[in-house]
Chain A
Amino acid sequence: MIALKNIEKYYTNGFQKTWVLRDITTNIAQGEFVTIMGPSGAGKSTLLNIIGMLDSGDKGEYHFLDEPVMKLREKRRHELHKSYMGFVFQAYHLIDELTVYENIETPLLYRKVKRSERQSMVAEMLDRFGIVAKKDLFPHQLSGGQQQLVGVARAIVARPKLLLADEPTGNLHSAQGEIIMDLFKELHDEGMTILQVTHSEKNASYGTRILEIEDGFIREDYPVRQGGLIGH
């Protein structure tokens, strides 16, 4: 599904280049649940954003579903992004002025889904995440865990193939975090490809594979054994 080859990313500050990513080469297949780990500032978010087409690499090749992303026109990229991807953020990033229901509905509006269909799709999410009673509340009326549930619901309501999550539990305490991770597992079992960034080894254990990044390089790439974490 995702094929990265020699991806580089740098920022120029005056005449000086600072590399954020160097020589990233890896493949991610449909149905994988990959965790990106590494110290702060290692380039995890940057990599996730490049894969999610929110950012682009400066060098290298990126194929998504066999399309050469870096050579595509903006419009096509936007289309790919829109039809295949869902995003979950550490800071939830709900829209303050919209209710829970409306936040979840937003991606469907941008995908021109019919009204009746929209209603049933949002209702399904509300039901699945157990937040039906909260549907008319505004984000600031919810706890962090509830906000992130809405965040996930919004990310998957349009049935993306790939779910990208940047430290989704980073702002949550462990019980709330667990709910989110259980949800990810469920989604993965249903066939969704998931790519998450996390600092927590426990969260990583929900996945199938770990990419460790340091200073912009992939340091290690190894599978997660079911039932436990492989040490190294």
Chain B
Amino acid sequence: MWLNYLKIAFRRLANNRIVSVLNSLALAVGLTVALLIGIFITHELQYDRWVPDHEQVFRVYRVWNQTSNVVWTPSPLAEKLRSDYPEVISASGLSPSGEKLVELADKQIFVEHTAAVDSTFFQVVSLPFAAGDPETALSDPKGMIISTKLAEIIFGEEDPLGQTIRLDGTDDYFITGIISLEGRNSHLAFDLYRRFEWYSPYWSGNNRATYVKVNQNSSVEGLEGKVTTDVNKLVQQELAGMNLNVNAEDQAEWRLQPFAKIHLHSSEYSWIQSKKGNIEHLYIFGLIAVLVLLVAIFNYVNLATAQATQRGREIGVRKVTGAMRSQLVSQFLTESILIALVAGVIAIVLTVLLLPVFNEVVDRTLTLQEYGLLGVIGMVLLTIITGLLAGTYPALVISGYRPVEVMQKKFFHAGDKGLFRKVLVTSQFAITITLLLFMAFIYKQIHFMNSQDLGFDPEQIITVPLNFSTTNYSIQNRKNDLLAIPGVEAASVSSRLPGKLIPDWTIRIMGREEGYNPYVIFTDPDFAEVMDLNVKEGRYLDEEIAADSVNNFVVNETLVREFQLDDPIGAEIKFTSDTVWGRIVGVVEDFNFHSLTRPIRPLVMGGGERKWFASVRLNTAELDQVLASIQTLWQEIEPTHPMRFEFLDEEFAALYEEQSRFGNTVLYSGLLTLLIALLGLFGLTMFSVQRRVKEIGIRKILGASVSSIVKLISLEFILLIIVAFLIAVPVSFYIVRKWLENFAYQTDVSWWLFPVIGLVIIIIAMITASVQSLRAANLRPATTLRTE
């Protein structure tokens, strides 16, 4: 029987080539989207789940006021967890240490992802070692663990173990361990681990993440509670010892985040984590995959039921010769599954072709190999389920025909007048238009953010990360040489830059009990000139005034407003840990030192010695020449490291990379959905023309014009698309408003984008629908009438 079903299915495929192509192409596109997104989602879900004992490992974080989650913890925490709590097996600290220059003989490599850890870190987190002993690898302070990837780059075939390499041009380390993730993924994707070089004994400090491994079955909430009580007490004591008030801000909830959740559930956590995942995006992507696949399935349903008239006779014959309805249903399902399988094969080819593009969109390096047999099984299952979903409704409808009705053709109309089909076409286009409208507003928002006046001028500024705390002085010494280069307007060093992670510090205001937490940037006096900041009141820091490099401060307008400083100039403030008070000497106009997703917050700028970035304002058309001169000079400023620079405006734009990638995903899925819907529309008009070929012939004989016939066929569909548009408008309006809530600065939801997108889609649909009707309208009536 199955053989018979298959045979007829194959022959139908071959005989109805256009429909088969339309169907399998649409399903293939739908499956491709589902497959790509499916791969991405499984990839994301697999992060860290393979690490041995991961269920027992947690990362400590703090919650303030139920809102902000902070992963940074004080240095002594790991030690306390180890010694004071019986359920803790071990605990250890980790801090990303940025980019490092690694040297071996004449090789110089910048390693982007490096970390500092406690020597016991790999007893807490059991990352697999390809060589070396995780227990003892970091016993020696000069030991170093690298990834197999880095080992290959530096040493090639050689055995790296025991080899010595130089870090940042100063210190030598010897390799004691190689970590191999073997193609699996972890949020701990560092290529280089060393021991911490420093330790801060303060409980009020926060400078590293703390990972903790607990006994099986121990109560996590219990531990969280105990730690919260104990540590908050320690913080209190410490602050009291410094004669400081303790306010609510210093008392956090201490919590434990499961190891395997770190990758996906940390988007709201302040922490440096490359390729951070985002569970919300995963949901949205999953929803998009389902929608696109649904649109493709609707296509099949539409084309299959539209074809039903043709198949009525076959059904009648089969029933008369003894077929039971269930057998007919199996036959139709065999057909739909077969088409789905053909589509599945095409989808795999498309997926292979599109994977590189998709990887860029989602910022991953996904491969199909990663999934192996399980992936194949998943794909086959997905395909079969798609085939079943697509085939069930048409199978039920068509197999329900009564032989007497379908075989005496004179009484047979394909039943339902196609109401269901109309609903499906409308939902297809409603989904498509919603996605495209959403996409339009994502881009509009990104464009809005990039063209917004930031309150400082990021253009023509290059920024250079500094590798040593002493570089600050080298630059101050050579600043005149730097400024002497034609095309260089101004140069400055600062602790942080707009758009980078900027820390907040606790300050005190003279005469007030409570502490405040503004963001803090330490700068030299030239910072205002480089960034083109507007000083509103008082002045910016001045080189000539000694106190300006120590404890005089400049603040922004938001700080004045939010901290309610009636007379800011001259107001006395200080950092909690400082002993002497300083003064506010100027107020600058607000500028966006964070991305526009966040509102402007209070900011303090002061002298201080911690400077990690140089920024240089250029004014030149000969960029290459100026850059070359700066680079030459830089060899004297930091001889150990090749100079690396970025443009501040590009860095700022890069802050919206996640949004851009998200926008791209929505754009591509929107376009693919449109493609599928158009394929379906094309097929439906084709059937409509086939069914009405005689009517069209007669109308032509009676003198109908080509355009009136095109209208006759297309109008019905165009009306459906207009209905779809009317549904899509409120839905996308709601989604867009919801999405814009993620941004402190929002573009307007301008009404004109709706009709523009709607019109574009209606025109494209009209063209698609016209292809078939034009063809029919141009046939000579003699030909069409003869076929009846």
Contact = CB atoms under 8 A, between A and B. Distances in A.
B12 interface: yes
B317 A93 contact: yes
A98 B8 contact: yes
A154 B408 CA distance: 19
Given A97-B8, A97-B15, A109-B1, A55 B313 contact: no
Interface string B311-346: 001101111111110010000000000000000000
B322 A107 contact: yes
Given A93-B407, A95-B317, A97-B15, A110 B324 contact: yes
A219 interface: no
Contacts of B11: 97-98
B408 A54 contact: no
A95 B324 contact: no
A107 B1 CA distance: 11
A49 B404 contact: yes
Interface string B6-47: 011001100100000000000000000000000000000000
A195 B561 CA distance: 101
Nearest to B408: A45
A111 B322 CA distance: 7
B313 A93 contact: yes
B1 to A, nearest CB: 5
B4 interface: yes
B132 interface: no
A106 B12 contact: no
Contacts of A91: 407
Interface residues of B, number: 24
A84 to B, nearest CB: 11
Contacts of A95: 8, 314, 317-318
Nearest to A106: B321
Contacts of B498: none
A206 interface: no
Contacts of A154: 321
B560 to A, nearest CB: 82
Given A107-B321, A110-B327, A89 B8 contact: no
B322 A110 contact: yes
A81 B321 CA distance: 9
A89 B324 CA distance: 20
A123 to B, nearest CB: 17
B169 interface: no
Contact of B322 (A82, A93, A94): A82
Contacts of B404: 49, 54-55
Nearest to B318: A106
A102 B8 CA distance: 10
A76 interface: no
Q: How would you classify the secondary structure of chain B's contact residues: helix, strand, loop or mixed?
A: helix
B403 interface: yes
Contacts of A98: 7-8, 11
A87 B404 CA distance: 12
A92 to B, nearest CB: 9
Interface string A76-106: 0010011000010101011111100010011
Contacts of B407: 89, 91, 93
Nearest to A82: B322
Given A78-B324, A107-B322, A110-B327, A94 B7 contact: no
A219 to B, nearest CB: 23
Contacts of A81: 322
A224 interface: no
A110 B666 CA distance: 49
A49 B248 CA distance: 88
A126 interface: no
B7 A102 contact: yes
B327 A94 contact: no
Contacts of A110: 318, 321-324, 327
A158 interface: yes
A54 B320 contact: yes
Contacts of A52: 320
A97 B318 CA distance: 13
Interface string B236-273: 00000000000000000000000000000000000000
A98 to B, nearest CB: 6
7 closest residue pairs by CB, A with B: A110-B322, A82-B322, A97-B11, A107-B321, A55-B404, A93-B317, A87-B320
Interface of A: 45, 49, 52, 54-55, 78, 81-82, 87, 89, 91, 93-98, 102, 105-107, 109-111, 154, 158
7 contacts: A55-B402, A89-B407, A95-B317, A97-B15, A107-B321, A109-B4, A110-B321
